[in-house]
Amino acid sequence: MKSRDTLVRLKRFQAEEKRRRVLQIETMIAEFSRMAGDLDREIAAEEQRSGVADPTHFAYSTYARAARTRRDNLHLSAEDLRSQLDAAKARYDEAAEELTKVQSIDLRDKNVDVVRERADMPVRAVRF
């Protein structure tokens, strides 16, 4: 009985850890997207301020060029995280499935134990 409870707790912990990882990756993707949006607005403002919107132009703003590079890196990082997210979701689904199996086995075994205990109890006569 004790080892089953330990196994259930272990599987629950593993599933929760994988769920936290999925949430962490989703949060990072959202943060990168927000930062990229901020950089897009800064780039547009800098291009408007300088009057040069062509990144290949010799007078293009150094700040806008650096912001573009940073934004592009954020997009690449977000894409990489999306592939990691897919893998993390798959691992979480597997862990949740294992937890469900272990919990159902534990519940079944507990029900069997209760039935056995009741079978061992003496039957008492009921008086009316």
Task: Give tens-digit pLDDT for 38-70.
Answer: 999 999 999 999 999 999 999 999 999 999 999
Task: Please say if the pLDDT value at position 116 is more than 90.
Answer: no
Could you tell me the pTM of the whole model?
Answer: 0.75
Give DSSP secondary structure letters for the chain.
-HHHHHHHHHHHHHHHHHHHHHHHHHHHHHHHHHHHHHHHHHHHHHHHHHT---TTSTT--HHHHHHHHHHHHHHHHHHHHHHHHHHHHHHHHHHHHHHHHHHHHHHHHHHHHHHHHHHHSPPPPPP-
- Map out the domains of the chain with their CATH numbers: 6-119 (1.10.287)
